[in-house]
Amino acid sequence: MSQTIAARATSLLDRLGVPADAYVGGSLASFTPITGEEVARLKVDSLASTEAAIARARAGFEAWRTVPAPRRGELVRLLGEELRAAKDDLGALVSLEAGKIPSEGLGEVQEMIDICDFAVGLSRQLYGLTIASERPGHRMMETWHPLGVVGVISAFNFPVAVWSWNAALALVCGNCVVWKPSEKTPLTALAAQAIFDRALARFGDAPAGLCQVLIGGPDIGAALVASHDVALISATGSTRMGKIVGPKVAERFGRSILELGGNNAGIVCPSADLNMALRAIAFGAMGTAGQRCTTMRRLFVHEAVYDALVPRLIKAYASVSVGNPLESKALVGPLVDRAAFDAMQTALTAARAAGGTVYGGERVTIGPDTAFYARPALVEMPEQTGPVLEETFAPILYVMKYSDATDVIRKHNAVGAGLSSSIFTLDVREMETFLSAAGSDCGIANVNIGTSGAEIGGAFGGEKETGGGRESGSDAWKGYMRRQTSTVNYSSSLPLAQGVVFDID
């Protein structure tokens, strides 16, 4: 098995165009969660090579910012084409390195393709407003200009999609990108860079340093964060990381997009279609082995339907297939590493101590001892306390009974994170209240679907400890540009705003 999986990684990397010297003989070991074994050893960047990459990007920006946006879009169109051609191999590498089941590995690459399509269209838009001036013979307008170098820091669980959400928009907006992927998933980053380089070669006349990847740990991320030459830091990861990165960027008046942890909840109302809710909750809570930022972690079920729904959910938890995603049709793959499994067990112990009844959660032996598979856990909790208030990045769903429609929204919002939320109801009052200003306080609020699996067309991100950033669709592109307000006087006099008089001879 050991050789087979490493050999599989090598042949995927080879087909994806990654030269072997990038991942053989280096100091950063890359492991597959599927067996826990080492599959490659990557060369890492130093602080000096990080500075050099930022300088190359800064120089590249001087040229790229003046390339017409639709032409910049052509590069992203070619990137989308290359991703389509590489979809199967890159999806398989995502599965191998992040442990995702095959359809989720492929789904991640599809998201990359979707954002490229979106960004190509955007490259002919990037609209500014014209504004009515109070002065005769004057015109006011807004223009959106590129920002500069965009530093992308990404998490292990969406090892390549997060880069593409940022890079596709940043590039059409006229920026250069320097990417520091998770040290847990560097191979997919090398593959994404190789795919980008193929698009670049077909594109032709692009400046050097347009899009680069840096391999390394938090110290390399910290160097990006500290650099005054990096105009925007887009950081995806834990709230712990965001609490360090956010203030550091703010200290130098840099811009940041923070996409941090979630503690997402669903509410099942008396009128809910329970069959639909069951499937949505099962995918939302157990999919990707609970390792999505949008994973459903809390569930409030109305007392009138509690007994009709929760025993069925417990049954689904007991029967869901857990297994090696390369060898089976399992729906739940491995946890990323031992630390994730330990964190899960710590949370379950705390839940028991707080009066919770735990179903599942035990280790499932699949392959060598270095792999960490767990049966997803459902925990019936008497109230929202202890571990329920925190994100544990593992498949644990805390289920609580509620009776009052107003009180449940208060409880729903009473956690630090504010990423995704959903309500299951056929009652228009309940739905509209949940979506209203007095409802969910999250960046994403869904009705009759789960908390995870967002589409590329909408702005993605969350409030409070999730960081407040927005990526992907809608007008998230504005985060990658600077706004300029201009007033043009085409008259032959000089009236001042607000009627101010300042006559000089």
Q: Is 319 exposed, middle or buried (0-12, 13-18, 19+ CB in 10 A)?
A: exposed
Report helix, strand or coil for 474: coil
Strand pairing partners for 41? 29
Which two tokens mark 136?
Answer: 């005769």
How far is the C-alpha of 383 from the C-alpha of 400, rounded, in Å? 6
DSSP H stretches of helix in 320-420: 338-353, 405-413
Are 245 and 225 in contact by the 8 Å Cβ rule? The answer is: yes
Report helix, strand or coil for 477: helix
Q: Please say which residue, 32 or 433, places its beta carbon nearer to ligand NAD.
A: 32
Is beta strand 463-464 parallel, antiparallel or unpaired with respect to 459-460?
unpaired
How far is the C-alpha of 460 from the C-alpha of 346, rounded, in Å? 30
Are 34 and 325 in contact by the 8 Å Cβ rule? The answer is: yes
How far is the C-alpha of 23 from the C-alpha of 20, rounded, in Å? 6
Q: Please say which residue, 164 or 236, places its beta carbon nearer to ligand NAD.
A: 236
293 is catalytic: yes
The DSSP element (H or E) to which 41 belongs, if any, is strand 38-42
How far is the C-alpha of 6 from the C-alpha of 333, rounded, in Å? 18
Which two tokens mark 471?
Answer: 């990526």
Contact residues toward ligand NAD (CB under 6 A) are 153-158, 180, 182-183, 217-218, 221-222, 225, 236-238, 241, 244-245, 259-262, 293, 391, 393, 419, 466
Q: Which of 192, 215, 167 is nearest to 49 (CA)?
A: 215
How far is the C-alpha of 14 from the C-alpha of 8, rounded, in Å? 10
Q: Please say which residue, 165 or 424, places its beta carbon nearer to ligand NAD.
A: 165
Length of the chain: 505
DSSP H stretches of helix in 204-302: 218-226, 239-251, 274-286
* Per annotation, catalytic residue among 108, 259, 391, 430: 259
In the chain, how long is the greatest CA-to-CA distance?
Answer: 90
Strand pairing partners for 300? 267, 400
Strand pairing partners for 421? 265, 445
How far is the C-alpha of 462 from the C-alpha of 466, rounded, in Å? 5
Alpha-carbon Rg for the chain, nearest whole angstrom, is 24
Q: Is 301 exposed, middle or buried (0-12, 13-18, 19+ CB in 10 A)?
A: buried
* Per annotation, catalytic residue among 293, 380, 391, 442: 293
Cα dihedral: 33, 36, 37, 41 (round 10)? 50
* Cβ 296 to ligand NAD shortest distance, Å: 13
Q: Is 7 exposed, middle or buried (0-12, 13-18, 19+ CB in 10 A)?
A: exposed
Which two tokens mark 174?
Answer: 């006229």
Q: Please say which residue, 217 or 458, places its beta carbon nearer to ligand NAD.
A: 217
38 is catalytic: no
Which two tokens mark 383?
Answer: 């109230």
Give the residue numbers annotated as catalytic, written as ranges: 259, 293
